[in-house]
Amino acid sequence: MFSTLLRILKFSSQDFWRNFWLSTATIVVLVLALVSINFLITLNFLTKTAVAEVEDKIDVSIYFKQGVAESDIGNIKSYLLSLSEVKEVVYVSPEEALREFEKKHQNDELIKESLEEVGENPLGATLVIRAHDTADYPEILKVFDDAQYANIIQEKSFEDHETVIKKIDSISEKATTTGFGIAGLFAMIAVLIGFNTVRMTIYTHREEIGVMKLVGAANWFVRAPYVASGILYGIFAILFTILITYPAIGFAEPYLAGFFGGADFNLLGYFSDNFFQIFGWQFVGVVLLNMVTSTLAVGRYLKV
Amino acid sequence: MYPPNITALQDVNLKINAGEFVSIVGQSGTGKTTLIKLLTAEERPTRGKITISDWDITKIRRSEIPTLRRQIGVIFQDFKLLPKKTIFENVAFALEVCGATPHRIKTIVPQVLRIVGLDEKSDRYPKQVSGGEQQRVAIARALIHRPKILVADEPTGNLDSINTREIADLLLKINEFGTTVILVSHNRELVNSLRRRVVTLEQGMVISDQEVGKYVL
């Protein structure tokens, strides 16, 4: 049993090296298919990062009326923080709000004069709420529909942002759906390319397969080295894909960061953190594909 | 019969005794190769019975075909060698398919290559030797199992007269050692020079079967 296995591995390795250019061509096509899948993974990551970056900049402000006790606002803040949808709540005191307002309008004489005329701080405290997901804002803000808050809340900024948030949610959802669709399409193309490449490789061996049968080889004995070669193609294809992907990402990352206006993303880190998910599944996929294709393709020429 | 309605062989009643040297002759398309393919189970007869020793191979199961082929040595006009294997590996392959140990392979293959005169060229690839030498490799491969029957389908078809003579002498030598040889050929000179049994086929039928025959067509 062990010697048969060694024999199959020997045949497979001989076939691989003695048909060097054919093996190389097969591996190159498989690598191209895998690189295109990784390119798509990159694109998907960038889209998600870009959408998340925009989403992260969105917050909702609750403006309280003047004179609302800080302790009441503190209670509301604590309650909001207890909600799982809420990521962060920042309390802005009336003094801070005024300072920010003055800073923002320091060149606007009319506003300056108006403030001087009023004499006292016209602004109330503010709670700035940030959700984990922009889709959660309506649910979070439902809290303030309660009648008890009607007398203390001056204004909510959500209505101003609602359209933008909905648009971003829609873009995010579409980007995810399109990403899955394109990934599926690419995967299908990659599978077809891989299938045909291995089939062509076996086709060039069809006469040898016939000879092996005429010499008295059993079907499995003819088939096994080709299946093993398929695994070997998969191993080399994934190795070369990794060797191409990492330097390519390293090269492209600074340009991408510039393109996205210095957005905080780490593509190399993403590939490293998900190394086994990305390349592990690609390896399993390509090896299974090669094994199945080799088994089927050799079968065609075994009827001797 | 081949579909749709082509009769390759009919009314063939042939008995070949152990140790015989039989030439099967006939013009192209008379069914010579079909007869060989029936013996190696590449084709199955529509009707009739084929027996080798006591083994009825008429309805042989697919799983038994490799066993049958390991007992019949076959050589072909186009040699059918594995181009990416060396001469040694080509011959060894016939042993490897039936699970021979590496030690046995290392012992037997050089012996058989010595018999066919190729022991010095065992590490060359088929394309690095002449046509006659390639055919001798094929003969070595066919002999490696010490088969009781050696079937040669136009073995000299691609060879010049010198190589043809060498191959014929080799086949005669193999026959002298007790192996039954079935030679399919349309080389008149070769068949006549052998002075052995000749079976002549015409339009799929045996028209002549002479104990010490000649190419009569």
pLDDT at A261 over 90: no
Query: How many CB pairs (< 8 A) connect A and B?
Result: 51
Cα–Cα distance for residue pair B136/B164, rounded to 1 Å: 11
Cα–Cα distance for residue pair B118/A239, rounded to 1 Å: 42
- Give phi and psi for B128, each to the nearest 5: -95, 5
Q: Residue B144's closest CA among B90, B86, B77?
A: B90
Segment A254-259 shows an average pLDDT of: 80
pTM for this model (two decimals): 0.71
- Give phi and psi for A105, each to the nearest 5: -115, 30
Cα–Cα distance for residue pair B20/B23, rounded to 1 Å: 10
- Which residue ranges of chain B lie beneath pLDDT 70? 216-217
Cα–Cα distance for residue pair B199/B186, rounded to 1 Å: 12
Question: Residue B178 CB: number of other CB atoms within 10 A?
Answer: 10
pLDDT at A59 over 90: no
Cα–Cα distance for residue pair B131/B159, rounded to 1 Å: 6
Task: Give the mutation candidate from B44, B63, B69, B95 for the A interface (greatest A CB count, under 10 A).
Answer: B69
Helical packing angle, A158-204 and A219-259, nearest 10°: 150
Cα–Cα distance for residue pair B171/B138, rounded to 1 Å: 12
Find, in chain A, the residue whose alpha carbon is nearest to that of B73.
Answer: A215
Which residue has tokens 């008995």? B15
Question: Of all residues in chain A, what percent carry a pLDDT higher than 90?
Answer: 19
Burial level of B138, CB count in 10 A (0-12/13-18/19+)? buried
Q: Which residues of A touch B82 (CB under 8 A)?
A: 208, 211-212
Burial level of A228, CB count in 10 A (0-12/13-18/19+)? buried
Q: What is the DSSP letter of B6?
A: B
CA angle B82, A222, B125 (to 5 degrees): 15
pLDDT at A162 over 90: no
- The structural domains of chain B, ordered by start, are 21-81+147-210 (3.40.50.300)
Strands A126-131, B72-76: pairing is unpaired
pLDDT tens-digit series, residues A229-251: 989 999 999 999 999 999 999 99
A→B contacts (Cβ < 8 Å), by residue, are: 3-4, 7, 14-15, 18-19, 207-208, 210-218, 221, 304
Q: Which residues of A touch B93 (CB under 8 A)?
A: 212, 215, 217
CB of A157 closer than 8 Å to CB of A61: yes
- Give phi and psi for A96, each to the nearest 5: -65, -45
Q: Which of B63, B97, B141 sits opposite A217 (nearest CB)?
A: B97
Task: Give the mutation candidate from A211, A220, A229 for the B interface (greatest B CB count, under 10 A).
Answer: A211
Taking an 8 Å cut-off on Cβ atoms, the answer to whether A4 and B99 are in contact is yes
Cα–Cα distance for residue pair B54/B48, rounded to 1 Å: 16
Residue B92, min C-alpha distance to chain A (Å): 11
Q: Which of B97, B101, B145 sits opposite A221 (nearest CB)?
A: B97
Two tokens at B169? 């002498």
pLDDT of residue A27: 92
Strands B205-210, B197-202: pairing is antiparallel
Q: Residue A26's closest CA among A157, A195, A148?
A: A195
Taking an 8 Å cut-off on Cβ atoms, the answer to whether A214 and B82 are in contact is no
Residue B198, min C-alpha distance to chain A (Å): 26
pLDDT at A304 over 80: no
Q: Which of B63, B70, B82 sits opposite A208 (nearest CB)?
A: B82
- The structural domains of chain A, ordered by start, are 2-54+168-300 (no CATH), 66-151 (3.30.70)
Taking an 8 Å cut-off on Cβ atoms, the answer to whether A215 and B102 are in contact is no
Q: Helix, strand or coil for residue B134? A: helix
pLDDT of residue B122: 94
CB of B182 closer than 8 Å to CB of B150: yes
The four Cα atoms A195, A200, A206, A209 give a dihedral, to 10 degrees, of -50
First to last CA, chain B: 24
Q: Which of B42, B80, B89 sits opposite A211 (nearest CB)?
A: B80
Amino acid at B161: S
Taking an 8 Å cut-off on Cβ atoms, the answer to whether B82 and A221 are in contact is no
Q: Helix, strand or coil for residue A244? A: helix
Taking an 8 Å cut-off on Cβ atoms, the answer to whether A208 and B84 are in contact is yes
ipTM above 0.85 for this complex: no
Taking an 8 Å cut-off on Cβ atoms, the answer to whether A216 and B84 are in contact is no
Taking an 8 Å cut-off on Cβ atoms, the answer to whether A214 and B84 are in contact is no
pLDDT at A280 over 90: yes
pLDDT of residue A177: 84
Residue B104, min C-alpha distance to chain A (Å): 13
pLDDT at A275 over 90: yes
For the sheet containing B72-76, what is the strand order?
B72-76, B149-153, B180-184, B21-25, B197-202, B205-210
CA angle A146, A151, A153 (to 5 degrees): 80
Cα–Cα distance for residue pair A99/A123, rounded to 1 Å: 10
Distances in Å between the Cα of B99 and the Cα atoms of A56, A57, A99, B72, B104 are 67, 70, 90, 17, 10
pLDDT at A210 over 90: no
pLDDT of residue A246: 93
pLDDT at A159 over 70: no
Two tokens at B43? 């084709």
pLDDT of residue B141: 92
Average pLDDT, chain A: 85
Amino acid at A37: I
Taking an 8 Å cut-off on Cβ atoms, the answer to whether A212 and B80 are in contact is no
B→A contacts (Cβ < 8 Å), by residue, are: 40, 42, 63, 66-70, 74, 80-85, 89, 93-94, 96-99, 101-102, 141, 145
